[in-house]
Structure 1
Amino acid sequence: MAPPIATDIQSTIDTEIATFSGGLSVNGVAARRSMAPKMAGGIAAHASSDMFKGPGRGKPKAKRWDHKLNEESKSRKPSSLKGAITYLKNPGVINLGGGLPSSQYFPIEYIDVKVLSALHFTEQETKEPGVVKRIGKYDIEEEKGIYDLHVGLNYGQATGSAQMLRFITEHTEIIHNPPYQDWQCCMNVGSTSSLDLAYRMFVARGECILTEEYTFSTAAETVRPMGVQCVGVKMDEEGLLPSDLDRILSNWDPSAHKNAPKPWLLYTVPSGQNPTGATQSHKRRKEIYLTAQKHDLYILEDEPYFFLQMQPYTGPNAPDVPPPASHEAFIKALVPSLLSMDVDGRVMRLDSFSKVIAPGLRVGWITASEQIIERFVRHSEVCTQNPSGPSQLILFKLLEETWGHSGYLDWLISIRLEYTKRRDNICYACEKYLPQEVASWTPPMAGMFHWIKIDWQRHPSKESKSMPDTEDEIFHASIDRGALISKGSWFRAETDNPGNDMFFRTTFAAAPADKVQEAIKRFGEALRAVFHLEKATNGPGH
């Protein structure tokens, strides 16, 4: 990819990208909670981020997005049954209305969860000095806690439980402090589900969406059966290029896209982009946001790797990067999110516990304007309903009762350092084992993926062999040698446009360090066999 190029895009919108002070700090959570009304956390209790966030004085309100919502979304009505449940908060009400099963028939009396409690997090510490948290059926009634199986095993609201929504709302304000008043969070069953619901809210058959030219394959595979085309925006080492985004939109020709109208929805993964590993700089994100204002784009900011941002790779013998001096220093070192500069409410941010806690819990959340959250809830009520109660309970015991916001940030700092070591390991393996006559790469700054470019035109049969055929040959040569890697073509936003470059995606997330080294060695052997290169020596770069 070409090096980053600064763009000069002028917004036609008067609103400035601004950062507002006065957001919530980790140390300020307890004081705010002490002044808040007692939480109503019973069965299917209504909850909203407005109950838990700051007042947002001095911030503007979000723009309205009626012109962006599709007919399906605009026609959805509130769930009659979900709405009726809210009356259970009235004193003395006897429930004969909703279909809530009695907890006396839940055949689970308690769940014990053993979690990490130390500041230095290791798997061994979970086995030995980890703390056991018991989740009982009637902890609320017995005054042992504010969240229990009586509540968690029953139906809930689409926003998620009040107990977990409070933590998530506070976390979002601590990290992002959205610069408009009426932002809210809504929990979900993971970002893949959130993305599907967002598409169903915003796009219609025959339309197009914008995304990076190489994009998360599931994001594209979700929207294509809806009759929606993906239009790829060119990338460099910092990810999506605002100049190309502006070019596409300024010169939109419906006839070149099956008569589709000019797209207005952008899907992007700003940090550790899947599959390329690219991370948008602060300046780049500002330029993307200004371009979105200029063309009235709505942005889906998918950020599962946000907290896996790393220091630059400096070589195999570089000293370990020390942890940040404080939580504030850690937060400040993160590239600010698009949400944190969103003065219009034109960003729906997708967050997830999948990459930082565990994907099998299937719990995430979105942050968007009140209007968009309300429509999202209407969709959720008739499909996913609410995130898993047991999953929320486990997260509550870990994040709220054991770690708190301070401990959660300690955990994020810890895994960031661990993934940095993994990134360094795969980069060193590439330097050592891959033939740099044909393979090149940029060390990723975040995430879990390493993107390797192959100079396929150096293939000895390039005159008679197409790029897809060469890619397939390399893929199978690697498989034959015992290393599974992903074809770059699987991630093309525009499937009918193979492009001119060839890439392969590797991941440093799952396999142990020695196995990653061995897999890269095998991939290097496959490349040498396909390109008829000499065998490697033991030195780096050979």
Structure 2
Amino acid sequence: MSPSAIDVEAVTDTSGVTLPDPLSAPIKSNDILGRRRKTEKGQWGIAAPSNTVNFRQKSYEHKPKARRWDHYASPEALNRKGNSLKGAVKYLSRPGLISLGGGLPSSTNFPFEELTIKVPAVGHFSEAETRDSGVTITVGKHDLANEKAIFDIGTAFNYGQGSGSAQLLRWITEHTELVHKPKYQDWACTMTIGSTSALDMALRMLSRPGDMMLSEEYTFSAAVETALPLGVRMASVPIDDEGLLPDELDRILCTWDANVRGGRKPHLLYTVPTGQNPTGATQSAPRRRAIYAVCQKHDLFILEDEPYYFLQMQPYTGAHAPDVPPPTSHAAFLDALVPSFLSLDTDGRVMRLDSFSKVIAPGSRVGWITASQQIVKWYQTHADVSTQGPSGASQLLLWKLLDTHWGHAGYLDWLLYLRVEYTARRNVILAACEKYLPRAIVSWRPPMAGMFHWMRVDHTLHPDFPAKSIETIEEEIFLRVIECGALVMRGSYFYADKEAVHGDMFFRATYAAAPAERIDEGIRRFGEALRLEFGLDPNGKNGQ
């Protein structure tokens, strides 16, 4: 079927005008509001059903459909029938309907009449600027009924769908389309209460006890701790400075022996491709394409966990070299981002996990997944009888900030601001490492994204090695660092497979929270602890 020749450009959220075929021109961040389709007022009501298809700005009918994943579906996913009461809520939007059916409390009894928040003006994002010249935004209880806005306290604070509110889901869909430009027809988004919960639900949908899931050999510890109680063990894949090695992934799968491994050949790959936690590694575009090709060869489904995607930084040029200037336009910023697995996906074999935790606030507990409609439907059915949707209060605050105040263009400006902020923080910790750490025993690679700095400590140079094991030496260093007044995380906390043999020692530091002078002092104390533990000159400089 050929794509439609016309679309509708929204003047308001309930009116529209004709717009030439949107396939003929790329979507720009400041064009999105004008491209919105006409919607009915009932779309925004209490617990209104929402669907990504209604909010996409381009036609995808000319693209291939996603593969189906019934062969990997768990009995739990196949047996879930959804929430029958939620299904009946769709009739609430019918004009003149008197509802005596739903268990929805009246908003007249919500003890909130108005919410006021102060947020940064576009281009003035610092805490000091926000304090002095921030914009005050107000939302009332009945703004929707009074036709002041399409989202309000009375709607957001009531029960909602597991997919989240239509209002915020529209913004999320537009953002996904702008950044990732999905390559297949039936992609969709649905909201989550954070990526750890999303991973838990994905494993319930796509695995069964006894399965093994592939991941980087050092990985997000909560991912391991989420999988194990479900009976899913990690199978670790060797890494280098760019993260997961596609040749090693292929070798592991080609030589998989279920009897030796104690589980059937894996069909899931969990990866954090950008600013990986804990190693800070970022997979290049060629690396991602090579990994995706291996996944196609072995029919792997990819769980792409990307909390740090927008914390990609400027290239590191050294402590005394001039900084590389950041992108100067939205187009240049988006072009500078490493392509996501979602943007490469032609099969619908990727579930991308996004979150506001690292770029807005962790306590918002709002995120989303993007996957094929089949996968998203399974997820929504599960959410409707478990987590339900994210907090209505969080959704309302995020919608006011992102949709009505910043817009897509302002949000990209905010992400550019974070890029500069994190580049500066990264540079502080690297300069401190060059100044204070004994390079004879410590080595590192500058992270290009994320929040973490990964440092290798050569334990074979420790005076008590090999009389003491690598685990004992790691623990003694860890405790010595605490005695010196700093805290860094032990690399062993992040083993994907704790039973595997590990021949190297690492420590993880973060530059995300502490001010510059505290980062500098923390690394100085780390260096002091290493010198004491290795019997080096306590007053030594770099390399001593």
> What TM-score bracket applies, with the shorter chain setting the length?
over 0.9
User: Matched residues in 2 for 1:141 and 1:435: separation?
Assistant: 66
User: Matched residues in 1 for 2:173 and 2:518: separation?
Assistant: 39
Is 2:147 the partner of 1:143?
Answer: yes
User: Matched residues in 2 for 1:188 and 1:235: separation?
Assistant: 29
Q: For the Cα contact (< 8 Å) 2:37–2:55, is it kept in 1? A: no
Which of these residues, 202, 205, 210, is aligned with residue 206 of structure 1? 210
**Matching residue of 2:407:** 404
**Matching residue of 1:453:** 456
Q: For the Cα contact (< 8 Å) 2:48–2:166, is it kept in 1? A: yes
Counterpart secondary structure, 2:196: helix
Name the amino acid aligned to 1:261.
R
Number of equivalent positions: 521
User: Matched residues in 1 for 2:402 and 2:421: separation?
Assistant: 20
Which of these residues, 124, 128, 137, is aligned with residue 128 of structure 2? 124
Q: What CA deviation, in whole Å up to 9, does each residue of 1:211-261 have, x standing for no partner?
A: 000000000100011111100000000000000100110000111222x11
User: Matched residues in 2 for 1:118 and 1:327: separation?
Assistant: 14
The offset of 1:146, in angstroms, is 1.0
Q: For the Cα contact (< 8 Å) 2:316–2:323, is it kept in 1? A: no
Distance 1:207 1:34, change over 3 A: closer
**Matching residue of 2:98:** 94
Q: What CA deviation, in whole Å up to 9, does each residue of 1:440-461 have, x standing for no partner?
A: 0001000000000010011111
Which of these residues, 231, 234, 238, is aligned with residue 230 of structure 1? 234
User: Matched residues in 1 for 2:299 and 2:439: separation?
Assistant: 43
The within-5 A match list for 1:492-507 is 492-507=495-510
Q: For the Cα contact (< 8 Å) 2:366–2:390, is it kept in 1? A: yes
The within-5 A match list for 1:452-491 is 452-491=455-494
**Matching residue of 1:321:** 324
The within-5 A match list for 1:215-364 is 215-258=219-262, 260-364=263-367
The offset of 1:312, in angstroms, is 2.0
The offset of 1:311, in angstroms, is 2.0
Counterpart secondary structure, 2:133: coil
Name the amino acid aligned to 2:497.
E
Counterpart secondary structure, 2:36: helix
Which of these residues, 524, 527, 531, is aligned with residue 527 of structure 2? 524
User: Matched residues in 1 for 2:149 and 2:421: separation?
Assistant: 33
| Structure 1 unaligned residues grouped into runs of 5+ | 1-19
Which of these residues, 359, 374, 379, is aligned with residue 371 of structure 1? 374
Name the amino acid aligned to 1:438.
I
Distance 1:237 1:21, change over 3 A: farther
User: Matched residues in 1 for 2:30 and 2:42: separation?
Assistant: 20
Distance 1:459 1:541, change over 3 A: closer
The offset of 1:27, in angstroms, is 3.2
The offset of 1:536, in angstroms, is 3.7
User: Matched residues in 2 for 1:159 and 1:541: separation?
Assistant: 54
Kindly, what percent of the aligned residue pairs are identical? 57
User: Matched residues in 1 for 2:420 and 2:404: separation?
Assistant: 25
User: Matched residues in 1 for 2:467 and 2:67: separation?
Assistant: 55
User: Matched residues in 1 for 2:230 and 2:494: separation?
Assistant: 18
User: Matched residues in 1 for 2:135 and 2:216: separation?
Assistant: 43
Name the amino acid aligned to 2:75.
E
The offset of 1:28, in angstroms, is 2.9
User: Matched residues in 1 for 2:363 and 2:324: separation?
Assistant: 30
**Matching residue of 2:517:** 514
Q: For the Cα contact (< 8 Å) 1:433–1:521, is it kept in 2? A: yes
Is 2:83 the partner of 1:76?
Answer: no
Q: For the Cα contact (< 8 Å) 2:217–2:236, is it kept in 1? A: yes
CA RMSD of aligned residues (A): 1.4
Name the amino acid aligned to 1:499.
H
Counterpart secondary structure, 1:150: helix
The offset of 1:432, in angstroms, is 0.6
Is 2:32 the partner of 1:29?
Answer: yes
Name the amino acid aligned to 1:434.
L
Is 2:196 the partner of 1:189?
Answer: no
User: Matched residues in 2 for 1:34 and 1:378: separation?
Assistant: 27
Is 2:158 the partner of 1:154?
Answer: yes
Q: For the Cα contact (< 8 Å) 1:23–1:177, is it kept in 2? A: no
Q: For the Cα contact (< 8 Å) 2:42–2:48, is it kept in 1? A: no
The offset of 1:35, in angstroms, is 5.0
User: Matched residues in 1 for 2:420 and 2:70: separation?
Assistant: 43
Name the amino acid aligned to 2:124.
H
User: Matched residues in 2 for 1:156 and 1:21: separation?
Assistant: 36
The offset of 1:37, in angstroms, is 5.5
Name the amino acid aligned to 1:106.
F
The offset of 1:39, in angstroms, is 6.7
Q: What CA deviation, in whole Å up to 9, does each residue of 1:372-392 have, x standing for no partner?
A: 000000110111111100101
Q: For the Cα contact (< 8 Å) 1:24–1:177, is it kept in 2? A: no
User: Matched residues in 2 for 1:57 and 1:207: separation?
Assistant: 36
User: Matched residues in 1 for 2:102 and 2:175: separation?
Assistant: 33
Distance 1:309 1:21, change over 3 A: farther
Counterpart secondary structure, 1:40: helix
The offset of 1:319, in angstroms, is 2.6
Q: For the Cα contact (< 8 Å) 1:441–1:453, is it kept in 2? A: yes
Q: What CA deviation, in whole Å up to 9, does each residue of 1:241-295 have, x standing for no partner?
A: 000100110000111222x110010000000000000000000000010000000
| Structure 2 unaligned residues grouped into runs of 5+ | 1-22
User: Matched residues in 1 for 2:480 and 2:111: separation?
Assistant: 53
Distance 1:23 1:264, change over 3 A: farther
| Greater relative contact order structure (CA < 8 Å, 6+ sep) | 1
**Matching residue of 1:392:** 395
The offset of 1:34, in angstroms, is 5.3
Is 2:409 the partner of 1:383?
Answer: no
The offset of 1:323, in angstroms, is 2.8
Distance 1:118 1:30, change over 3 A: closer
Q: Which moved more, 1:135-144 or 1:28-37?
A: 28-37
Counterpart secondary structure, 1:365: strand
Q: What CA deviation, in whole Å up to 9, does each residue of 1:362-408 have, x standing for no partner?
A: 10000000000000001101111111001011101111111000000
Q: TM-score, normalised by structure 2?
A: 0.94
Name the amino acid aligned to 2:408.
H
